[in-house]
Amino acid sequence: MNAGEMLALRLLHALEPEQAHELAIRALQWGLFPMPRHVADERLRVDCCGLSFPNPLGMAAGFDKNARAVPALFNIGFGFVEVGTVTPLAQPGNPRPRLFRLREDEAVINRLGFNNAGQAAVRERLLRYARLPGRGVLGVNIGANKDSRDRIADYAQGARCFAGVADYLTVNISSPNTPGLRDLQGAEALHRLLAGVRGALEEKGRARLPVFVKIAPDMDEAVLADIVEAAVEGGAAGLIVSNTTIARPDTLKSPLKEETGGLSGLPLFVPSTRMLARAFLLAKGRLRLIGVGGVRDAETAWAKIRAGADLVQLLTAFVYRGPSLVAEILSGLLDRMERAGFNRLNEVVGTRAEEWAARKLPVE
């Protein structure tokens, strides 16, 4: 991290977390953030689901919910950016405060509750980015409005709205902050949801658009196995493992640990990576996996790939470590590939899945 970036982060962290987030998005939007060096190397390219990712590192959903900073995030060096979660209608989310920095734990708790500008506004912005020169892959994460009478219809509407502007879609059925949303992870509900989304994409002539299902880390092996089968049968391209957790590991030190919401960052690394490995073993090559949860350096990104991830995302570490983290992770991945004698990242995927799947969790 250079001195300018350190100062910028220090200033942001002196502010209330949500104000800091808003300011960071504006700084990115207006090009005011110090831009780090770029790591471009063909050995990092990942071909997945018919898409070509310049590198395997993406910004996770929730950082740029309304697609305001997409060009800047690509400039920083992310191989892909996932915007959203976007719901059909704009909604304010939960009352503030609803975002907490657990500094001692390098973690965040959020109960934002899908605050977003709504599909029409986000689509409008994305249309402007369609022809960004040299841009990476753009994902749109879709969800349901809190007061929706028919949540599955909300996802189908999202698919229809973004079919023409997204490179892939994510159906987010795992936010802990919209009551009842995680019920959609049940096999029968997931079947119906994927059928609705696929139907909407067919209507728009985009039947082949990859659809990922983003799942929670808080479930047992049997439920995970059902989700894997439902995702395969429903024609999903893959899973994103995982969203934030409602668990509170014993190891947390921050006085804010009792806040309600989803926990992300370092304490999520082991549980989400173990679950990723289990999903990899259950999927037996039928699904592609995006690993997310606690990635904070090259070592943790490498571990996700070895546990079974084709691609990796992060969010919380960006808040603590800033934009130069992207280049640091990518060059660290190249070093590790060289040392281990791999020429392409796909040779690395899942090479430690058994070990990770058997891993014990820290006590809760």
Ligand X SMILES: Cc1cc2nc3c(=O)[nH]c(=O)nc-3n(C[C@H](O)[C@H](O)[C@H](O)COP(=O)(O)O)c2cc1C
Q: In the complex, which residues of this chain contact ligand X (CB under 6 A)?
A: 60-62, 65, 84-85, 99, 108, 110, 112, 141, 172, 175, 214, 243-244, 264-265, 268, 292-295, 314-317
CB closer to ligand X, 133 vs 180: 180
Say if residues 305 and 316 touch (Cβ distance below 8 Å). Answer: no
Chain position whose Cβ is nearest to ligand X: 62
Closest approach of ligand X to the CB of residue 206, in Å: 21
Closest approach of ligand X to the CB of residue 248, in Å: 15
CB closer to ligand X, 145 vs 264: 264
Closest approach of ligand X to the CB of residue 281, in Å: 21
Specify whether 52 is catalytic. no
Say if residues 110 and 262 touch (Cβ distance below 8 Å). Answer: yes
CB closer to ligand X, 193 vs 292: 292
Closest approach of ligand X to the CB of residue 133, in Å: 27
Closest approach of ligand X to the CB of residue 34, in Å: 22
CB closer to ligand X, 54 vs 265: 265
Identified catalytic residue from 175, 242, 264, 324: 175
CB closer to ligand X, 92 vs 205: 92
Catalytic center residues: 175
